Amino acid sequence: MSIVYRESNRVKDWVNLILAGLLFISPWVLGFAGESVPAWNAWIIAVIIAILALAAISAFAEWEEWISGLLGIWLIIAPWVLTFASNQHAVWAHVILGIITAVVSFWSVWDYRHTPHAA
């Protein structure tokens, strides 16, 4: 695996770790910690994304990025599936962080599949 690819991917994994941290604190910062459904969704998904990001930082595996990307998509649709779309702060936190998480994760997959690897 090339050093340039590995460093590029490591940056993306650190971005996902930072996004997980932002998602985790968003219920308190944006004032929806008192609403159990959006707050717990944010906390649980943030912990999972953080664990996947840490795992990817230590040893990259494509499946970690796929799961993170799918969790990003979940964050985008969660306000409507879990019926907390009336809370605009929770919606925007989930949607914006979900979009960025999905883009960064799927970009890592694309980058991995389109970068030559050393045998």
How far is it, in rounded angstroms, from Cα 80 to Cα 38? 11
Average pLDDT over residues 51-63: 88
Structure tokens given for 114: 């389109």
Residue 119 lies in a domain: no
Please state the domain count of the chain: 1
Residue 100 is part of which domain span? 3-113
Task: Work out the mean pLDDT of the chain and round it to a whole number.
Answer: 90
Check if the beta carbon of residue 5 is closer than 8 Å to that of residue 115.
yes
Residue 46 lies in a domain: yes
Average pLDDT over residues 78-82: 98
Residue 16 lies in a domain: yes
54 has pLDDT over 50: yes
pTM: 0.87
Check if the beta carbon of residue 78 is closer than 8 Å to that of residue 100.
no
Residue 23 lies in a domain: yes
How many C-beta neighbours within 10 Å does residue 45 have?
23
Residue 118 lies in a domain: no
**Band of pLDDT at residue 42, cut at 50, 70 and 90:** very high
Residue 48 lies in a domain: yes
Report which residue type is found at 59. A
